[in-house]
Amino acid sequence: MRKISDTINRLAALRLAGTANGFSAVSSRLAPLSDFGSNPGALNGHVYIPQTLAPNAALVVVLHGCTQNAGSYDIGAGWSDMADRHGFALLFPEQQRQNNPNLCFNWFSPGDNRRDAGEALSIRQMVAAVTSRHELDPARVFVTGLSAGGAMTSVMLAAYPEIFAGGAIIAGLPYGCASTIPQAFDRMRGHGMPSASELWALARAASDYNGAWPTVSIWHGTADATVSYGNAQAIVDQWRPLHRTRAAPDQVEVIGGHARRAWTDASGREVIEEYTIQGMGHGTPLDTLSEDGLGTSGAYMLEANISSTLLICRFWGLAHAADKGAAKVVPKPAPAPRERALAHDEIGNAMPPIFAHGSFVRDRETHRAGGVRKIIEDALRSTGLMR
């Protein structure tokens, strides 16, 4: 088990990195969203409606990571540029420091990570307001996010599966894996991740939905020292039973030098995809250098010769395949007979360190006065994991 001192040092380094994300909200193209509901999670909201908005257009909900804001994430990932190219609307929920000092969505909090409560309900209210005001297609609403935003994407997909046609989780976590502060510490550092069957049950119990489940796109770097790469497999294992796919992927290919696996449902439609970004750390994968490049590299916005923004849009049917070069297909063994039963596998992968970025301050007097418990509580408060 990793020592608490090691985790403290890691989070201190993350906070220093997060203060230099290099993007100014002043240059954002987003407009504020107001009067969208009771807003129990006390979130801010921003929208981008392109001049090219198509009739009955789609809506993409974008959730930033810790230490970021809506404008900086848009500049980094290039979402408003994609909206201009393909005529869909954007909604950017945004965390406030009064809720979390490091601007992390509270994905682990029982008051915020369930249906009809807290931050999850605030985001749902924003979706309803924007869809109605701009006459968008309610059947084409999608959600994506990075890091804590990726974990909150998992929350939205599980809690409101009837609202979203698809989601994309970047360097995130499976739904429901933590509901207390100690669990959040353990899951982020790679300890005690629920089994695949438990993860499936958590997602299934998040609503009483019985329809077609949202498609899921999963992105993770193999060198991610903030959120362990093993989370990608945990998310796959959570969603495979919901879509009744078989265990082995139905397609394996290489795109931009990175592996992509895909699973299909009984009709042959791709419902889960996973991109393994070789050698990438914690962040959103970008291709800023090609002719059709998107976004701006910076802290947690990482040049990787592959545009997650563009390929996610392609997976959702919002962009054309011609927007990106052809993939190199890697031969794979013939698939075993398809079994659509709810088979559950144990997850043996190492899981992540902590999500929220922050630094810890302590001294000998604090240690003597409050002991180890106080040290941990102070650490959690400084990272935004405890209020």
| Both structure tokens of 116 | 């009809």
Residue type at 273 in one-letter notation? E
Q: Rounded to whole angstroms, how far apart are CA atoms 77 and 292?
A: 13
Q: Rounded to whole angstroms, how far apart are CA atoms 126 and 121?
A: 9
310 Cβ neighbours under 8 A, 6+ residues apart: 82, 287, 292, 294, 319, 323, 324
Of 124, 120, 128, nearest to 175 by C-alpha is: 120
| Both structure tokens of 26 | 């002043």
- Helix, strand, coil share of the chain (percent; to 5): 30, 15, 50
Of 343, 330, 276, nearest to 304 by C-alpha is: 276
Residue 147 known to be catalytic: yes
Do the bridges between strand 270-277 and strand 59-63 make them parallel or antiparallel, or are there none, so unpaired? unpaired
The neighbour count for residue 139, using CB atoms within 10 Å, is: 9
Going through 171-256 in order, the beta strands assigned E by DSSP cover 215-221, 251-255
φ and ψ at residue 93, rounded to 5 degrees: -60, 150
Q: Rounded to whole angstroms, how far apart are CA atoms 270 and 280?
A: 25
Inter-CA distances, 334 with 59, 133, 244, Å = 38, 49, 19
Inter-CA distances, 254 with 40, 171, 251, Å = 43, 19, 10
- Identified catalytic residue from 80, 147, 228, 382: 147
| Both structure tokens of 126 | 């924003």
Q: What is the CA radius of gyration of the chain?
A: 20
- Whether the Cβ atoms of residue 297 and residue 143 lie closer than 8 Å to each other: no
Angle 166-59-288 (CA atoms, 0-180°, nearest 5)? 80
Q: Rounded to whole angstroms, how far apart are CA atoms 119 and 157?
A: 14
Residues annotated as catalytic are 147
